[in-house]
């Protein structure tokens, strides 16, 4: 038994639709429908990636990296599924991806590397299990700040839309550095690797 991608009702066929949602291809007509379907599909087809996203976004898990919500992981997923989403363009969104925005407040936690002191403790981490590392700063008295909107980015995986990421605040260009490089780095090493943005870690 699985769930309808749109309403979450039990269905027998994997990734099917409940009778009330009619044919799935016809039912996905709004931006909110697309996000709901992508969230549920990502949970089923990319469980490790989805679990990592939720953990990194929850300030209650003490594994929050970057921008977070003051909510547990189940509440964050419910919040995403219940929101009203609008498709939107942004220069930091990679080609082939689509961005959506909703009025879901949270705490932004991304700073410029150039604004950090040379002695900042930095590490390269693949916190979302994407195969790419992000630069994370810990040990400094950095405070996140409240923002009014959440952004969610979807892309194609085997011909269907899945959630690549979501976060409070506007997106920044994602890292393209593979996770073969990880661990602690100096400020200068992070700069040489091309990092511009650094995520605040708990």
- In this prediction, residue 10 carries a pLDDT of 65
Q: What is the mean pLDDT of residues 54-71?
A: 87
pLDDT band at 174 (very low <50, low <70, confident <90, very high): confident
Rounded percentage of the chain residues whose pLDDT exceeds 70 = 86
Q: What is the mean pLDDT of residues 113-122?
A: 94
- In this prediction, residue 9 carries a pLDDT of 67
Range of the domain at 156: 48-200
Q: Would you say residue 111 lies in a domain?
A: yes
Query: CA 113 → CA 46, 63, 186, distances in Å?
Result: 31, 21, 11
**CB contact at 8 A, 150 and 167:** yes
More confident residue, 21 or 7: 7
- In this prediction, residue 1 carries a pLDDT of 42
- In this prediction, residue 21 carries a pLDDT of 53
More confident residue, 189 or 173: 189
Burial class (CB in 10 A: 0-12, 13-18, 19+), 33: middle
Q: Which residue has the tokens 């697309």?
A: 34
How many domains is the chain built from? 1
Q: Would you say residue 153 lies in a domain?
A: yes
- In this prediction, residue 98 carries a pLDDT of 96
Q: Would you say residue 54 lies in a domain?
A: yes
Q: Would you say residue 66 lies in a domain?
A: yes
């Amino acid at each position: 038994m699985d769930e309808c991608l749109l309403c979450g009702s039990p269905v027998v066929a994997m990734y099917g639709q409940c009778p009330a949602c009619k044919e799935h291809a016809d039912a996905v007509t709004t931006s909110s429908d697309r996000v709901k379907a992508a969230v549920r599909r990502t949970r089923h087809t990319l469980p490790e990636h989805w679990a990592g996203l939720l953990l990194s976004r929850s300030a209650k898990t003490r594994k929050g990296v970057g921008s977070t919500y003051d909510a547990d992981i189940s509440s964050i997923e419910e919040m995403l599924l219940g929101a009203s989403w609008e498709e939107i363009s942004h220069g930091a969104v990679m080609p082939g991806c689509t961005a959506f925005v909703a009025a879901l407040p949270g705490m932004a936690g991304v700073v410029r590397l150039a604004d950090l002191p040379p002695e900042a403790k930095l590490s390269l981490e693949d916190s979302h299990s994407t195969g790419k590392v992000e630069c994370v700063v810990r040990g400094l008295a950095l405070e996140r700040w409240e923002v009014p909107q959440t952004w969610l980015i979807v892309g194609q995986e085997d011909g269907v839309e899945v959630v690549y990421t979501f976060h409070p605040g506007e997106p920044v260009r994602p890292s393209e550095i593979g996770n073969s490089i990880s661990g602690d780095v100096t400020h200068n090493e992070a700069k040489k690797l091309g990092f511009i943005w650094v995520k605040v870690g708990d």
